[in-house]
Amino acid sequence: MIILLTGASHTGKTLFAQKLIETYRFPCLSADLLKMGLIRSGQTRLSPEDDAELVPYLWSIEKEIIKTALENKQNLIIEGCYIPFAWKRDFTKKELADIRYLCLIMSPRYITRHYCDIIKYASVIEKRHHETPCMRSLIDENMFFLKQCKKYALPYKLITETYPPDIEF
């Protein structure tokens, strides 16, 4: 089984992926680690701020990793925000049967009530080296992800009360 775990910035994707690793004992590929490895090695001219260009660039690699894992009947978790919403078009019906997708989305109410905790725990797994987002930008980004999940009929978990969410695959 392949698990694709995505969501807006600061939704706890990496922390949740860690819980999935502990539960399922699957290996995990962090899109952020892949991104920084490609940038630091000079394999791309893109920078960490080039999110719009990074999605198709990283996805071209991630989807082939997924196909290879499927061919070899290997389990894998891929986590990060660099998964396009139209990802299903890159796989056959047979391949899609072995792929699970989940987008983590925080509700505006959750963000408003827990903003200080969201920022406090932003680096619990990985050390972030960029500016702290304002509450409004977190709300806007999460609502964008919600809109896209609805548009593409993708599964999502709307976090409204507690974190981490209770999810099984």
A 10 A CB-CB count for 105 gives 25
pLDDT digits 0-9 by tens, 102-144: 999 999 999 999 999 888 877 655 555 567 889 999 999 999 9
Nearest-5° Cα angle at 109, 83 to 139 = 40
Task: Output the average pLDDT for the chain.
Answer: 92
Q: What is the CATH number of domain 2-159?
A: 3.40.50.300
Map residue 30 onto helix, strand or coil.
strand
Query: Can you tell me the distance from the alpha carbon of 74 to that of 8, in angstroms, rounded to the nearest whole number?
Result: 27
Domain ranges of the chain: 2-159
25 φ, ψ to 5°?
A: 60, 35
| CA distance between the termini of the chain | 9
Whose CA is closest to 106, among 16, 29, 7, 26? 7
Decide: pTM greater than 0.85: yes
Handedness of CA 46, 2, 108, 165 (dihedral sign): negative
